[in-house]
Amino acid sequence: MRSNLSLDSVSISLRACVLAWFANVLLLALLFASGGLSASPTDAGQSAFWRISKGGVDAGYVLGTIHSEDPRVLDFPADFIAQLTSCQVFAMELLPDMATIGRINEFMQYPDAETLQRTLGKERYERVMAALEAYQVPSDWKARMKVWAAMMTLSVPVPETGFFMDFSLSLRAAGSGMKVSGLETLEQQLSFLESMPVAYQLALLDQALSDYQRVDELNDEMVDVYLTGDLARLQRLSEEQFSQLDPEIRDYFLRGGILERNQHMAENLATLLQEGRVFVAVGALHLPGPGGLLALLRQHGYEVDSMPMPFAPVAGPRGANQAEAPGDPATG
């Protein structure tokens, strides 16, 4: 019996971890919609894949990712894998080890006797419970979810494999003998959600309840645009999807969810770059703008040069077969 309970706990925690990473799609879209992440003239409309160098010496790569398990972003060409494994260190937002996975579970649930129903009220709570049915989360676990955890769960597709883009890259890196490092702690990534005013959380939850039946469609559309590597087009799409949200909420996400996190990640990345060549994989919309990682790398004395996206766009969502010739980047 103890073994089964332990396995159940790990399973729930793994699912929570997957949802936490997928939720960055929502986060980044909210932030881009605020206008605070508008790409600079140097970065706008260019690839989400960049080479890092300093004084003419290669230092590694930065790939802006989309936190998705869509097969189209998991088809890594051989040349790209060679670029990945030419580095000594793989750096991602958060290290997906078992300790982190377990703690994500704790972050997403109310402690003690507090419940989601008490915060939401009966009618809204019942709507949330019905919407969460497809996510195969145990009822007692759902009942203790925090508002922001329910919101972000409903804002992303139901996980199918758990092999989202960032995680898949980290497995390839570890398998090749690279050191895998996180650029931020769990507290740094989720603290702004923990401290978010309840009114903001409820507004976002209501938005998620209105849109959750279209989440697969919206995700496919985001991936379509991501595959072009055009951050400006990603911005326009985000603006369309989240134009109804209160500007105060978007500004809150911008400050706590991106700008402060970018500073932490840039400082840790600068340390890693002193150890050797680093392959960086972070959400694509962490890159542009004056507070983005590209600008922060330049402030640390590094040059960043855009490269063609390593993926060939595929006609149709989730793995349709008609692809462009390998190695031909989309121009948008």
Does some domain include residue 149? Answer: yes
Q: Would 189 be classed as within a structural domain?
A: yes
Does residue 66 form part of some domain? yes
The reply to whether 160 falls in a domain is yes
Residue 214 confidence (pLDDT) = 85
Domain assignment present for 327: no
Residue 41 lies in a domain: yes
The per-residue pLDDT for 262 is 93
Q: Does some domain include residue 331?
A: no
> Can you give the residue range of the structural domain that contains 62?
2-307
Amino acid 2: pLDDT: 33
What's the one-letter identity of residue 6?
S
d(CA 123, CA 108): 22
Q: What does the pLDDT read at residue 103?
A: 82
- Amino acid 327: pLDDT: 35
137 found inside a domain: yes
Residue-wise pLDDT tens digits, 211-255: 888 888 888 888 888 888 776 776 676 666 566 678 888 788 778
* Under-70 pLDDT residues of the chain: 1-46, 231, 234-235, 237-244, 312-332
Structural domain total, the chain: 1
